[in-house]
Amino acid sequence: MKRLLVLAVAVTALFANAQTFPGSKPITFVVPFAAGGPTDRVARDLAEAMRKSMGGGANFVVENVNGAGGTIGANKVAKALPDGHTLLLHHIGMAAAPGLYRKLPYKPLEDFEFLGMINEVPMTIIGKPQLPANNYRDFENYIRANSGKLNIAHAGLGSASHLCGLMWQSAINAKEAMTTIPFGGTAPAMNALVGGQVDMMCDQTTNTTGQIEAGRVKAFAVTTAKPLSGNKLLKDYPTLQEMGLKGFELTIWHGLYAPKGTPPAALAQINAALKLALKDPDFIRKQEGLGAVVVADKRVEPAAHKAFVAAEIAKIKPVIEAAGKFAD
């Protein structure tokens, strides 16, 4: 606590010394997915924590620029004025898009300044409440018995739900069993699932936990290598590996980015405020309640964040190629 206080004083001093940044202009987090979804949730919680960590001296705005699996919002920030006031809060899609899109209008490793990672989030395989299956085994059997008649929602090509759906359908040999239905984010997809207009989805726990708890959707499995034994709700669901899908593991991560050319002084201030926010007990508690783990290792530093994303691009590309789907 004492350390936190010292850090807070240091960051406040940093801001007090910087006359020009952030100034009175708000800092916008561009979220490349729909409002009310899993990434939006992380952004709004982080905006609140960073407002606090900047000693209340900065205003944050969340702008949802959804579409094309997060690539429209990412492109907007890549081309934005590099003054520190427009930031991208994006997830694993930053690393999945290069493997999925033949013509990506931005270069993830060249067009951004890396500001640090935020959290890691498990995913859940969920279905509409009307499904007859009540456990993962029965769910897989139901899919096989209804092959060709089912659909799976996702948040657009290159989104986490798309990636997860691809990997899962390929792992259970059910690529032809269902039609994919893209949405601008898993917030609208979740509405369709709760309403029974789509059959299933693989989505981040920052979006699914509340819906599972309220009984509005059925959960069947989690995508982590190990069971989520620390979470009071999610601990009850098996991992896909426990259900026989050897080696299946998918964890989503979020990071913060600025357009290339943002002044180093602004980047340093944002990174300092981010690191402080990641230690905020309120932020940690909220994220943990949603099954997410706040990053507390060297990936909160820009260089390690960038190296991690580069490694993820190399890791994900062959997975997507094996699953066999491309977007133009």
Q: Which residues bind ligand ASP (CB under 6 A)?
A: 33-34, 37-40, 91, 93, 155, 159-161, 185-187, 204
Using CA atoms, how far residue 184 sits from 3, 187, 229, in Å, is 41, 8, 32
Q: 146: Cβ–Cβ under 8 A, 6 or more apart, which residues?
A: 177
Could you tell me the smallest distance in angstroms from the CB atom of residue 6 to ligand ASP?
35
Measured CA to CA, the distance from residue 328 to residue 307 in angstroms comes to: 26
Burial class (CB in 10 A: 0-12, 13-18, 19+), 181: middle
Could you tell me the smallest distance in angstroms from the CB atom of residue 155 to ligand ASP?
4
Measured CA to CA, the distance from residue 202 to residue 217 in angstroms comes to: 12
Could you tell me the smallest distance in angstroms from the CB atom of residue 224 to ligand ASP?
16
Q: How many helices (H) and strands (E) does the chain have?
A: 11, 10
Could you tell me the smallest distance in angstroms from the CB atom of residue 187 to ligand ASP?
6
Could you tell me the smallest distance in angstroms from the CB atom of residue 19 to ligand ASP?
36
Residue 83 or 120: which CB sits closer to ligand ASP?
Answer: 120
Residue 91 or 286: which CB sits closer to ligand ASP?
Answer: 91
Could you tell me the smallest distance in angstroms from the CB atom of residue 158 to ligand ASP?
8
* Element spanning 116, H or E: strand 112-127
The answer to whether the CB of 165 falls within 8 A of the CB of 154 is: yes
Residue 155 or 234: which CB sits closer to ligand ASP?
Answer: 155
The neighbour count for residue 130, using CB atoms within 10 Å, is 9
The answer to whether the CB of 250 falls within 8 A of the CB of 319 is: no
Could you tell me the smallest distance in angstroms from the CB atom of residue 93 to ligand ASP?
6
Residue 154 or 305: which CB sits closer to ligand ASP?
Answer: 154
Q: Report residue 116: phi and psi, to 5°.
A: 125, 155
Residue 84 or 127: which CB sits closer to ligand ASP?
Answer: 127
N-term to C-term CA, the chain: 50
Residue 41 or 305: which CB sits closer to ligand ASP?
Answer: 41
Measured CA to CA, the distance from residue 274 to residue 280 in angstroms comes to: 10
Residue 38 or 108: which CB sits closer to ligand ASP?
Answer: 38
